[in-house]
Chains A and B, each alone.
Chain A
Amino acid sequence: MSAPAYRPEPEQAKGSATIGKNVTITGQIYSREDLYVDGEVEGTIELAENRLTIGANGKVKAGIHAREVVIIGSVQGNVEATERVDIRKDARLVGDIRTARIVIEDGAVFKGSIDIVKAEAKTAPPAPKPAAVPVANAAAAGAQAVLSEAKR
């Protein structure tokens, strides 16, 4: 009898870090690769040059800063995306959006303000910040991982 094959969510890009649906993180997340959140996050999420996807099971209570943000689950907090915010059907976002481009599907719930800003010109990447909370591929981790608020 073989173990059930791991099947990524349709939105889950290959090669991105994943916070699985049974994972809870409290603290600050910095990532220099794409991130898929299907668990719970409370704090802040920063992916300055990358794409953040909040999966259908994702519940995020955090300020978000990323290049691109796709919301399928639930977010409470302000969202800043240098390129684009994509709010899918059945998603829920309560917070203010600041982005260059926004797509919102019918059926999505959004409460907050939208500020459209021109896309920033590409500049040299900023000096890397020290990783406050390591984000490992936690999709397989069934246990609840509560990481301390490492940086206050």
Chain B
Amino acid sequence: MLKDAFNALFGGSAPSARPKQSPGAKRVLKPKLAETHSRTSQGLNQFFSNLDRGDRLRILDLSGASQANLNFVLQFGHHLYCEDLAATLDGVFESGDDFYARQADDDLIEQFLSQTFANLQGPFDGALVWDTLQFLQPPLLDHTVGHLYRLLEPGAFLHAFFNSDERARWLPVNSYRIETAGSMQVIPRDYRPAPPAFNSRALEKVFSDFASVKFFLSRDYVRELIVTR
């Protein structure tokens, strides 16, 4: 409770509002949107360090196009592909009460995958996935990760992060802007009911086809991943 109040007041980076989550429970109002803020990111730093092996690499950014991210990635001479995974997710499954239930609909899954991946031509040397995967339910998550696997070059890196607060009731839907190799600007757009948090073992299973998964834990209940294809 104290943490929630702190976040509401100061826009803290901890992602959760945390009343218990049960279908019959009294509906809890969405928390107030936090302020735009910066957060350091070891995972992002590691991602760009790993890519420090020349120019003309092909980078996939799934946060949608933003000037900050374009400038940062293109300054190294890389080739950038932009796709807004979160916007497609909202567009196909809608952000209402049935958001998670609708993810079991095969037709909608097909629509989502088609809209997201049909025009993507890999292979890519790196993918910035940000936090959208945490809002995907199996089997949509498995399909999406499978597509990412196929789009990435062997040895390529993927950066993503997931909420690690098991008591979170709401998770913020954010936009992310790269500030430096190791920091990002977080722009809260909305809140969404929190799905069960992924622990390390569950994430290793999600990315079991990949060569390795490296975790970075942070104090703000975010579990960052660098996944190597």
- Chain A residues in the interface with B (C-beta under 8 A): 87, 94, 102-106, 108-116
Contacts of A114 in B (CB 8 A): 70, 74, 79-82
- Taking a contact as CB atoms under 8 Å apart, the answer to whether B70 and A104 are in contact is yes
Name B's interface SS. Answer: mixed
Q: Choose among B66, B77, B79 the residue that contacts A113 (Cβ–Cβ < 8 A).
A: B79
Interface residues on B, range: 10 to 19
- Taking a contact as CB atoms under 8 Å apart, the answer to whether A116 and B65 are in contact is no
Contact with A along B63-82 (1 / 0, CB 8 A): 01111001000100101111
- Taking a contact as CB atoms under 8 Å apart, the answer to whether B65 and A104 are in contact is yes
29 A-B residue contacts at CB 8 Å?
A: A94-B119, A102-B70, A103-B67, A104-B66, A104-B70, A106-B66, A106-B67, A108-B65, A109-B64, A109-B65, A109-B84, A110-B64, A110-B65, A111-B82, A111-B83, A111-B84, A111-B119, A112-B81, A112-B82, A112-B119, A113-B79, A113-B80, A113-B82, A114-B74, A114-B79, A114-B80, A114-B81, A114-B82, A116-B74
- Chain B residues in the interface with A (C-beta under 8 A): 64-67, 70, 74, 77, 79-84, 87, 119, 121
5 more A-B residue pairs beyond the given contacts A103-B67, A114-B70, A116-B77, with a C-beta to C-beta distance below 8 A: A104-B67, A109-B87, A112-B119, A114-B80, A116-B74
Report the Cα distance A4→B67, complex, angstroms. Answer: 40
Report the Cα distance A114→B70, complex, angstroms. Answer: 9
In the assembled complex, the CB of A109 is this many whole angstroms from the nearest CB of chain B, namely 7
Given the known inter-chain contacts A94-B119, A104-B65, please indicate yes or no for A113 contacting B70, CB distance below 8 A: no
Contacts of A94 in B (CB 8 A): 119
Contacts of A109 in B (CB 8 A): 64-65, 84, 87
Contacts of B80 in A (CB 8 A): 113-114
